[in-house]
Structure 1
Amino acid sequence: MGGGFADDVAFMERHTPIVLLRDGDAAVAVAPAYQGRVMTSTFDRQAGPSFGWINRPVIEKGVLSGEQAQGQLQDHIHVFGGEERFWLGPEGGQFAFYFKPGTEFDFADWRVPAVIDTEPFELVDSRSDSVAFRRDCELTNYSGQVFKMGIERTVRLIDRAGAAQLVGGPLADGVRMVGYQTDNRLTNQGDQAWSPETGLPSIWILGMFNPTPRTVVVVPIEPGAEAELGPKVNAAYFGEVPADYLKVSDDTLFFRGDGTRRGKIGVGPKRAKGVAGSYDADSQTLTIVICTQQPAPHGYVNSMWEHQQDPYSGDVINSYNDGSPEPGAPPLGPFYELETSSPAAALQPGETLRHVQKTLHFSGGEAELDGIAKNLLGVTLAEIKRQF
């Protein structure tokens, strides 16, 4: 777990404007200058924990106020942190937005586009329980195709009654919670249709959370034969994930979220159930991420760092565990991530794709949290704890 929410918010407000959404004691801190990202949240804004990972050294550099950031990592990405941010896929491959034409698919050439790294989103509406942003931009992919995009993003609180509906029953009195959803929309603002032959973008939502030695990521999957549903997991993004970091059963993936070894897993559309989560046994905190599931006639974009045979065989749900990106280099964080993606956006001019993600944190006794884990992740807390 990180530090306290109140301390994190006070720190961030010294460097960038923060919009605070409130529901009783629960609160969510949103940063307009960081693309409307949810920086952190808590069930008790005065004395509660801070669930988002906040990278104070990078925020202190004042990158967005015009000062020049220094260091290797800032050459590739400004890692501000934050527990839920808007990105665009794909990351790698011939239609990537993170590699310039002609570069190699390695860390030295990887760059996050400024529009989703250092440039602010425009705040268009702010209320006690929601805040809305928009941004128009133009991006060129690895193959040289230009995309004129309109981005809209709304962050809205989920109250206790809304959380109970998602869980499938009322929350026990001893369970404290905070929840929110983001409604993310991507519009083709150009005069040509976006075509699979020249690349398709997708909405990609990522959350950075504080790692602990006992944090385990849980991803339910559809059981069944690989010939029908494809592989249970893609565990080769940054080299194959070793067995002491990933356990695979018939219907569940368990992945360490301890921030000690770089690795990433992904689940494709025939396996994904639209939900993932994590459990930190030390703080007795259960985190749940739920995303919209919708038709994907053109598949999901492939973000593997390679020239791809099938650019639309990508994942719906991903999890990343941070560590050193190359020998001798420091980690980006450390942190761990839960991620979801929309289908590939084969949009006509003026057409819009929507992707909604819900994030909830529950804290309480294990007996009280166990039913939530079983209902949403399909496993008990005891099963999660004994995996590693």
Structure 2
Amino acid sequence: MFLASKTICSARAVVTLGIASVVLTFMSSCSSSNNDTMSSTANSFGTDLEFLKKHQQTIVLTAPDDDSAQVAVVGALQGRVMTSTANGTSGNSYGWINYKLLESGKFTPHMSAFGGEDRFWIGPEGGQFSIYFQEGKKFVFDDWQVPPVIDSEPFDLVSSDKTKAVFRKAASLINYSGTKFDFVIDRSVEALSKIAIETAINFPLKDVKTVAYETVNTITNQGADWNKETGLLSIWILGMFNPTPKTTVVVPFVGGADHKSKINDSYFGKVPAERLIVEDSVLYFKADGKHRSKIGLPPSIAKPVMGSYDAEKGVLTIVSYDLDPTGDYVNAMWEIQKEPFKGDAANSYNDGPVEDGTQMGPFYELESSSPAKALKKGESLTHRSRTYHFEGDKMALNAVARRMLGVSLEEIAKH
């Protein structure tokens, strides 16, 4: 979840090896046993929805042409998409939900990891322009804190109907260098029709059940002009999903002689070779929730799409997002940085046990970030993300996988 510092209370980190040892210590202090925290991967959407409604005011969006395609959204948790389904209340529930934390009704130190498959965050996480560390503090977990505006404060519901909910939040943050940012967050979540999905992917869907939604996330500067010398902000969208032993993340990238070397696979130490297979223009990353690891791709080689395939349940998940190959992406490393705008555009995290055997999940994540922009007062930055889940006939799913990810289900399953 976190780029340079995924906490276990949070779920991930983009850290150096030195910081990684601190992460393990912190994680063990704020994580619990699997049975206490995880939403069962066997839960139906109806079971998860019933639980959510007991503890949070939940908005259920449905596709305009299919009432069985449903999306559960909680405004009090920053307008996040908690989970979704393509098959109504009896169907699979795709989002990971932290049952124990929601049931407690409490917020936790450093970060409140409630789960959810599309969550709004802001970067950068680490460095001299970080908004997660106060000026003069050390880049260690004891001093790391997710700003309340994206952790514990509710977003205001502006409007909602059957298919769309719109949220707004006024925010004020001060970065590590002492720069103040006054801005407004606008976020919408919209369930898409099957026709809209087919148009977006430019491919007909036959013998496939699908649910898809788009989040449009905007920050608008309300104060002094922003500049690179004193720090910029970016939009960071993170999704937490339910893993299985046969789930594989697939990330296409721009092929090239040296492009493999640009992939960051050392956030928590080198990812074991059997868990990360990098080919000429696509990588396969094991997402079983059994080994804590993370990967990242810079905008120069990333493509505006990534996904995963659960061969056990037959679920294909695709995330598409806005990408600027030449943009300035914030660096999340927990250190004073030489290149604060040379960060990743796309990331994936696989949860796993820490040294004492406990873990927050299990879950895995797909993440995207916007570039940072030097906004003048009144100017805005927008980042769009679309999440698709497909189930159904395997041949039909295979055609979608080839279309969206450039590889077959057979190729994915081999990894």
Please report the TM-score for the alignment, with normalisation by the length of structure 2: 0.87
What is the CA deviation profile of residues 120-140 of structure 1, one whole-angstrom value per residue up to 9, with x for unaligned ones?
000001011000000011111
Question: Which of 51, 55, 58 is residue 11 of structure 1 equivalent to?
Answer: 51
- Per the alignment, in what secondary structure is the counterpart of residue 120 of structure 1? coil
**Which amino acid is the alignment partner of residue 14 of structure 1?**
K
Q: Which moved more, 1:99-108 or 1:80-89?
A: 99-108
What is the CA deviation profile of residues 185-216 of structure 1, one whole-angstrom value per residue up to 9, with x for unaligned ones?
011111x2111111111000000000111110
Give matches, 1:139-288, under 5 Å.
Answer: 139-172=173-206, 174-190=207-223, 192-226=224-258, 231-288=261-318
What is the CA deviation profile of residues 314-334 of structure 1, one whole-angstrom value per residue up to 9, with x for unaligned ones?
11111111124x533732222
Q: Which consecutive segments of 4 or more residues in structure 1 shift more than 6 A?
A: none
Alignment partners' CA distance in 1, 2:126 and 2:195: 40
- State the match for 1:319 in structure 2: 348
- State the match for 1:66 in structure 2: none
Q: Which moved more, 1:161-170 or 1:338-347?
A: 161-170
- State the match for 2:104 in structure 1: 61
- Per the alignment, in what secondary structure is the counterpart of residue 11 of structure 1? helix
Structure 1, unmatched stretches of 5+, are 64-68
Question: Which of 111, 121, 135 is residue 87 of structure 1 equivalent to?
Answer: 121
What is the CA deviation profile of residues 364-383 of structure 1, one whole-angstrom value per residue up to 9, with x for unaligned ones?
13211011111110111111
- Per the alignment, in what secondary structure is the counterpart of residue 55 of structure 2? coil
What is the CA deviation profile of residues 282-320 of structure 1, one whole-angstrom value per residue up to 9, with x for unaligned ones?
0000000000234755x1011122222111111111111
Alignment partners' CA distance in 1, 2:382 and 2:136: 32
1:15 CA displacement: 0.8
- Per the alignment, in what secondary structure is the counterpart of residue 108 of structure 1? helix
What is the CA deviation profile of residues 68-116 of structure 1, one whole-angstrom value per residue up to 9, with x for unaligned ones?
x5xxxx2121111111010001111221122222333233332211111
**Which amino acid is the alignment partner of residue 331 of structure 1?**
Q
Is 2:302–2:325's contact at 8 Å kept on the other side of the alignment?
no
Is 2:301–2:325's contact at 8 Å kept on the other side of the alignment?
no
- Whether 1:136 aligns to 2:170 is yes
Question: Which of 155, 164, 178 is residue 121 of structure 1 equivalent to?
Answer: 155
Q: CA RMSD in A?
A: 1.5
Alignment partners' CA distance in 2, 1:102 and 1:330: 32
Q: Which moved more, 1:1-10 or 1:178-187?
A: 1-10
**Which amino acid is the alignment partner of residue 97 of structure 1?**
I
1:2 CA displacement: 4.1
Alignment partners' CA distance in 2, 1:301 and 1:92: 9
Question: Which of 70, 76, 79 is residue 27 of structure 1 equivalent to?
Answer: 70
**Which amino acid is the alignment partner of residue 75 of structure 2?**
P
- Per the alignment, in what secondary structure is the counterpart of residue 149 of structure 2? helix
Alignment partners' CA distance in 2, 1:379 and 1:105: 40
1:163 CA displacement: 1.4
Alignment partners' CA distance in 2, 1:230 and 1:273: 14
Alignment partners' CA distance in 2, 1:48 and 1:216: 21
Alignment partners' CA distance in 2, 1:284 and 1:106: 40
Alignment partners' CA distance in 1, 2:96 and 2:204: 29
Q: Which moved more, 1:160-169 or 1:270-279?
A: 160-169
1:258 CA displacement: 1.0
Please report the TM-score for the alignment, with normalisation by the length of structure 1: 0.92
Is 2:298–2:345's contact at 8 Å kept on the other side of the alignment?
yes
Identity of aligned residues (%): 49
- Whether 1:38 aligns to 2:81 is yes
- Whether 1:384 aligns to 2:412 is yes
Alignment partners' CA distance in 2, 1:163 and 1:13: 28
